[in-house]
Amino acid sequence: MQWRLFRPVGLVPAALVLTTIAASAEGGKSAGPSEFLLVAQIVLLIAVGRGLGEIMQRIGQPSVIGELLAGIILGPSLFGWIWPEAQHAIFPKTPEQKAMIDGIAQFGILLLLLLTGMETDLKLVRKVGKAAIAISIAGILVPFACGFALGEFLPDALLPQPEQRLVASLFMGTALSISSVKIVAVVVREMNFMRRNVGQIIVATAVIDDTIGWIIIAVIFSLASHGALDIASVAKAVLGTLAFLAISFTIGRRLVFQLIRWANDNLVSTAPVITVILLLMSGMALITHLIGVHTVLGAFVAGILVGESPILTRQIDERLRGLISSFFMPVFFGLAGLSADLSVLRDPNLLMLTGLLVVIASVGKFGGAFVGGTLGGLSTRESLALASGMNARGSTEVIIATIGLSIGVLSQNLFTMIVTMAIVTTMAMPPMLRAALAKLPMNKEEKERLEREEFEKRGFVANLERPLLAVDESVNATFAAHIAGLIAGMRGLPITVLHVGQRAKDQEKARGEEKSHEVVVKKAADTVSANGDGDAGSVDVTTRVRKSGLGEAIGDEAKKGFDLLVVGVDRVTATNERFDRKIEDIAAEFEGALAIVAAKGKHLKQPMPDALNILVPVSGSGVSKRGAEVAVALAQAGSGSLRVIYVATTRDKGAQRGASRGLSQEEGILKDTSDLAARYDVDITTTLRVNRAPEAAILREIDTTDIDLVVMGVDRIQGDHLSFGGVADAVLRQSKVSVLLVSSGEARRSPAESA
């Protein structure tokens, strides 16, 4: 077990020897900057940093600690102490060579702040706003005052420019007061406490801490750049920062979303969205530099705006995270460790000062956060857990210290002290937080919320990001637009309307502005908002007109990341017990979830109803659960009624036995659906019809009740043409009321029934 634990860095000594020999040979050839040395440095920092990061994660520590330790091991603290010639050969201090890898590290800072911003949940901050703000202010003021006081009493020998003691003291205060949102979020997430009440407050407080911290750093950077307290320059920095934040979170939020959407939908090159995001990050970093503050603030805000964009967030996050985590993070934090010479701590005075720094940082942050938690209305146990969680410094302090070192405000010894403090406090945080949270009981309200969120994590509607609506000029298309608007309005999802009719453009103009499909979608979404449901209500609608063959047009749109296609066309079925050719062509080109709308009955005269009275058949299968979830969402959004009927299909017989302990299979499945509806405050009526064929039971329920829409979860069945099985086909053809078929993206081999 121990060998497996340390295997990731088992080849480091051999790698160091080989690299040293090659570096010595390379160094003898040229005194100028060497590309070979740059690659060798990157290889060592990544290999050792990722290896130690793996070990750290296995023992319950964040991987960034391993990356920092890698730099310390490869730097003068250990490698340079054991074999100084070799260390100098691989990491020479010549300005040209150092500038090459420093450039990579500086861009890595921006990318790291971009990722941190993308992980920042502003909804979470708003949700626990007052408590988090009170905790953050108290948690910053106390340690900031302690750090500032320590800076004022530091010996002149520790300051590179004693005449700039004020700036150095401000840096010290900031370094001691700001929690690292990345470290805090990673640790809380890895411990499965992210969604706990106190976990949300910890992360929200860390977000506010980080935001305030970067604003403070921006002001201090401006102060340091002018060498004195220049009121005009500081005012420019403060006002410029406030104006930048105000514009970013108003006009900027909309602009970022539109740019991401435009790049995804119109550019055909590889990873165009990533390119746009990197350009946005760089542009905003340059803007903050021009107004006199550090570039990291621009990158951080860019990350928040990208994370707030309601489109493709999962794909963007996955692609960027891999590159940043595997390349830029080990290089940047490894270089930070290289800059920290722990051998200076052999000096008893410096060691004592470092210990004092750790104590002041820990006591100040712990005490300030505890007081803030108490003032914010938390219990004693919650405040203890909060204070334990907020004591992690990690990446933020290292970035702050690196900035201070680069502009000459902090000396090498002070930098080493701050890095040591960051490592010690970060390593102490996980066990302290575990101990505090283990004693924190979960109340009933919190338990119910967590169960609902756990369900939504696996749910269909809650994980939708981007629906596509394909419509012609028919009444059925208007009804489909209404359905799509209700679904999109639940979470404020952006939606694209694709006109697939032969004369789509002319016909849409003839319909008039008030009856256009785009207006129907918006009105339905506004209805959700007016009812107080959903996250955003109003949706962003983009219109596209088919310019090529139907299949080609759908195929082109399918490449853009849509996860649900709602289809509303004039003819749904053909006479030969098949779907209309247009439906089959659309379904053949779209691999994701499909929702086929068939308006009947009163919806032919009133395709935008005020309410929907819905019937959903359930059988316990996964596809029937998806149908039930969509039905619940529509009932909630459309302020209608919901009736649930249990029907047994061939594939489900016996499969769900014991769904709820103590109940029959049928009762258990109905109870599960009732629990689903209760999570969204939707009242339902349940019916058991176990002695009838599924299609007969559903049609009988339609005839004897006042429902006007049947929602069925169905499976695509593999074959020569589009099919959802006999039950769905019978209901679709014989129902007197509207039908909505919701299918998964994959086709099943077996022609077994689904409902």
Q: Quick: pLDDT tens for 508-534.
A: 454 444 458 888 888 887 776 655 544
| CB-CB contact of 206 with 241 (8 Å) | no
Task: Give the per-residue pLDDT at 671.
Answer: 75
Q: How confident is the model at residue 18 (pLDDT cuts 50, 70, 90)?
A: low
Lookup: tokens for 140: 């910053």
Residue 701 and residue 694: Cα distance in Å, rounded?
11
pLDDT of 374-385, one tens digit each?
887 788 888 888
C-beta separation of 710 from 627 below 8 A: no
pLDDT per position as a tens digit, 73-98: 898 888 888 888 888 888 888 888 88
249 compared with 747, residue with greater pLDDT: 249
Distance separating alpha carbons of residues 662 and 280, to the nearest angstrom: 57
Alpha-carbon distance of 278 to 299, in angstroms, equals: 9
| Predicted confidence (pLDDT) per residue in 199-209, tens digit | 777 777 776 77
- Give the number of other Cβ atoms within 10 Å of residue 251's Cβ: 10
Nearest to 122 by CA among 259, 285, 389, 301: 301
Inter-residue contact 739 to 712 (CB < 8 Å): yes
- Over the stretch 688-700, which tens digit does the pLDDT of each residue have? 666 568 888 889 8
Q: Which two tokens stand for residue 56?
A: 């750290």
Across the range 8-12, mean pLDDT stands at 50
pTM above 0.85, yes or no: no
How many helices and strands, by DSSP H and E, does the chain display?
Answer: 32, 10
Does residue 603 contact residue 577 with C-beta atoms inside 8 Å?
no
Are 449 and 476 a contacting pair, CB within 8 Å? no
* Token couple for 277: 């995001």
Neighbours of 591 (CB within 10 A): 14
Q: How far apart are CA 329 and CA 561, in angstroms?
A: 29
State residue 17's pLDDT score: 55
Which of 21-35, 153-167, 215-229 has maximum average pLDDT?
153-167
Q: What domains can be seen in the chain, in order of their start residue?
A: 94-438 (1.20.1530.20), 459-571+581-594 (3.40.50.620), 611-755 (3.40.50.620)
Residue of higher predicted confidence among 361 and 279: 279
* Cα dihedral 159/164/166/167 (nearest 10): -90
- Residue 241 corresponds to which tokens in the numbers above? 């920062």
**More confident position, 549 or 294:** 549
Backbone φ and ψ for 596, nearest 5 degrees, come out as -100, 125
**DSSP H or E stretch at residue 643:** strand 641-646
**What is the edge-to-edge ordering of all strands in the sheet holding 495-499?**
541-545, 495-499, 467-471, 564-568, 593-598, 738-748, 709-717, 613-618, 641-646, 684-688
Half-sphere exposure for 156 (CA within 13 Å, toward CB) = 3
Tens of pLDDT, residues 227-285: 555 666 667 777 888 888 899 989 998 899 889 888 888 887 878 888 899 999 999 99
The amino acid that residue 235 corresponds to is A
State whether residue 701 is helix, strand or coil: helix
| Plot region of 230 (φ>0 → left; ψ -120 to 50 → alpha; else → beta) | beta
Q: Which of 99-103, 324-328, 397-401 shows the lowest mean pLDDT across its residues?
A: 397-401
- Total residue count of the chain as it appears in this document: 755
What is the Cα–Cα distance from 663 to 653, expressed in whole angstroms?
A: 16
Q: Are 625 and 458 in contact (CB under 8 A)?
A: no
Return d(Cα 672, Cα 109) in angstroms, integer: 48
Alpha-carbon gap, residue 634 to 642, rounded angstroms: 9
* Run of H or E residues at 350: helix 348-375
C-alpha radius of gyration, the chain, whole number: 30
Please, what is the average pLDDT of the chain?
Answer: 78
Higher pLDDT, 177 or 40: 40
Conformational region of residue 740, where left means phi above 0, alpha means psi within -120 to 50, and beta covers everything else: beta
Whether the predicted pLDDT of 219 surpasses 60:
yes
Distance between CA 333 and CA 112 in Å, rounded?
A: 11
- Residue 25 vs residue 231, higher pLDDT: 231
- Of residues 690 and 556, the one with the higher pLDDT is 556
Query: Alpha-carbon distance 230 to 223, whole Å?
Result: 7
Confidence band for 489, pLDDT divided at 50, 70 and 90: confident
Q: Give the rounded percent of residues in the chain with a pLDDT score beyond 90.
A: 9
How high is the pLDDT of residue 16? Answer: 57
Q: Report the range of poorest mean pLDDT among 146-150, 154-158, 362-366, 471-475.
A: 154-158
In the prediction, which pLDDT does 290 show? 84
- Confidence band of 6 (pLDDT split at 50, 70, 90): very low
